[in-house]
């Protein structure tokens, strides 16, 4: 007889559901379980409801996770599947992200209507993005372009593009791959000129700290290199979080037992940029990320952050 199904909490967007299914499939494979050992529970978050303003104005990353965390606390779900990029850097007492799935490609993808790449867009063309990081990186490359706010899930943004509201948009390659939409990509942005957001491309799984059996079950699908990269990137972001109106990019790569991190913070117009590069042992991921955050914050100086809080 089947015992109680494990309830996998997720946002209801097609991308979130794809990530929940990937988590379920990996758990099934790792433990030889069938589909009915799991129940996928989609929940609507305030981040999904508020679509007319940029996230940086309405409260930031917590918006996508709060409802899922409440459901974890009251037992409506047993685990919560998140895009790591959307997660706050500190979690409520009693909850933990113990598990990261193998990371997808971290690059951003350009989807162009008037031209296949940002470089080839006509002078003054409009690009849609509500990410401060993408806006600043676009403006750094092409100060003549106009950047307009584009929110909503991947499908909503693509519809806006079809309606001609913008000449192009930028989305994470990871999300497009998970949705089977890579055919619409017209350019993949190189990491050195368009570094990703901390956490981009990585699925994180949150659980109740006290749940020993779930901890054991999840450990079978944890990807250690992704875990180290994320520990580093999240520590870096945590140092800079006080300035959530700052465009921030950061990316760690793990090779064997070494970790290589690159980070950059920019002014909103992309004209000012401060970079940091660190490497060390993968097991020191968090300390490396923390030190990188401190370094880039010191380089930028207090004036850079003034009035942005
Ligand atoms: N903020 C929305 C969001 N959160 C995670 C992804 C993409 C998937 C990922 O980075 O894992 C996206 C959409 C996008 O940026 O294109």
**Ligand 1 pocket, residue 111 CB under 6 Å:** no
Q: Which atom of ligand 1 is nearest to the CA of 197?
A: 10
Residues of the chain with CATH 3.40.190.10: 1-103+202-222, 108-188
**Ligand 1 pocket, residue 175 CB under 6 Å:** yes
**Hey, is 125 helix, strand or coil?**
coil
Per residue of the chain (309 residues), what is the pLDDT tens digit? 457 899 999 999 999 999 999 999 999 999 999 999 999 999 987 766 666 666 566 556 677 788 899 999 999 999 999 999 999 899 999 999 999 999 999 999 999 999 999 999 999 999 999 899 999 999 999 999 999 998 888 888 999 999 999 999 999 999 999 999 999 999 999 999 999 999 999 999 999 999 999 999 999 999 999 999 999 999 999 999 765 688 999 999 999 999 999 999 999 999 999 999 999 999 999 999 999 999 999 999 888 887 554
Task: Please check whether the domain covering 224-299 is classified as CATH 3.30.160.40.
Answer: yes
Which class for 215: exposed (0-12), middle (13-18), buried (19 or more C-beta within 10 A)? middle
pTM of the model: 0.93
Ligand 1: residue whose CA is nearest its atom 7: 175
How many helices (H) and strands (E) in the chain? 11, 13
**C-alpha 18: how far from its chain's center?**
15
The CATH label, of 3.40.50.620, 3.20.20.140, 3.40.190.10, 3.40.640.10, for the domain at 108-188 is 3.40.190.10
**Ligand 1 pocket, residue 65 CB under 6 Å:** no
**Ligand 1 pocket, residue 86 CB under 6 Å:** yes
Would you tell me how many other CB atoms lie within 10 Å of the CB of residue 103? 21
- Percent of the chain that is helix, strand, coil (3-state, to 5): 40, 25, 35
**Hey, is 120 helix, strand or coil?**
coil
Sheet of 108-112: strand order equals 146-148, 126-128, 168-172, 108-112, 187-188
Candidates 78, 86, 108, 223; catalytic one? 86
Q: Which atom of ligand 1 is nearest to the CA of 157?
A: 16
With the most atoms of ligand 1 within 8 angstroms of its CB, the residue from 200, 247, 249, 250 to mutate is 200
Residues of the chain with CATH 3.30.160.40: 224-299
Ligand 1: residue whose CA is nearest its atom 1: 86
For residue 80, give every residue at least 6 positions away whose Cβ sits within 8 Å of its Cβ, in sequence order, or none: 9, 10, 65, 68, 69, 71, 72, 205, 206, 207
**Ligand 1 pocket, residue 285 CB under 6 Å:** no
How remote is the CA of residue 87 from the centroid of ligand 1, in Å?
11
Top-level class of domain 1-103+202-222: alpha beta
Give the ipTM of the model, two decimals please: 0.97
211 is annotated as an active-site residue: no
């Amino acid at each position: 007889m089947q015992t109680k199904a494990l309830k996998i909490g997720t946002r209801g967007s097609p991308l979130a559901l794809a990530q929940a299914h990937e988590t379920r499939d990996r758990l099934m494979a790792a433990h030889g379980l069938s589909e009915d050992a799991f129940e996928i529970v989609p929940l609507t978050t305030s981040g999904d409801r508020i679509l007319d303003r940029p996230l940086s104005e309405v409260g930031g990353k917590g918006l996508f996770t709060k409802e899922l965390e409440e459901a974890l606390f009251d037992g409506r779900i047993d685990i919560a599947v998140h895009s790591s990029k959307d997660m706050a850097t500190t979690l409520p007492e009693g909850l933990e992200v113990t598990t990261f799935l193998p990371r997808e490609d971290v690059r951003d993808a350009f989807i162009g209507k008037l031209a296949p790449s940002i470089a080839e867009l006509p002078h003054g063309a409009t690009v849609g993005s509500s990410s401060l990081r993408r806006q600043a990186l676009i403006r750094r490359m092409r100060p003549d372009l106009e950047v307009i706010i584009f929110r909503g899930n991947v499908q909503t943004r693509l519809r806006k593009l079809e309606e001609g509201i913008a000449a192009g948009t930028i989305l994470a390659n990871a999300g497009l791959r998970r949705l089977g939409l890579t055919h619409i990509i017209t350019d993949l942005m190189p990491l050195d000129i368009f570094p990703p957001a901390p956490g981009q491309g990585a699925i994180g799984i949150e659980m109740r700290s006290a749940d020993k059996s779930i901890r054991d079950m999840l450990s079978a699908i944890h990807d250690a290199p992704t875990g180290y990269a994320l520990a580093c990137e999240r520590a870096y972001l945590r140092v800079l979080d006080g300035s959530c109106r700052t465009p921030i990019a950061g990316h760690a790569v793990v090779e064997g037992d070494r970790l290589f991190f690159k980070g950059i913070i920019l002014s909103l117009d992309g004209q000012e940029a401060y970079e940091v590069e660190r490497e060390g042992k993968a097991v020191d991921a968090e300390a490396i990320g923390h030190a990188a955050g401190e370094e880039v914050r010191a380089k930028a100086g207090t004036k850079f952050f003034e009035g942005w809080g």
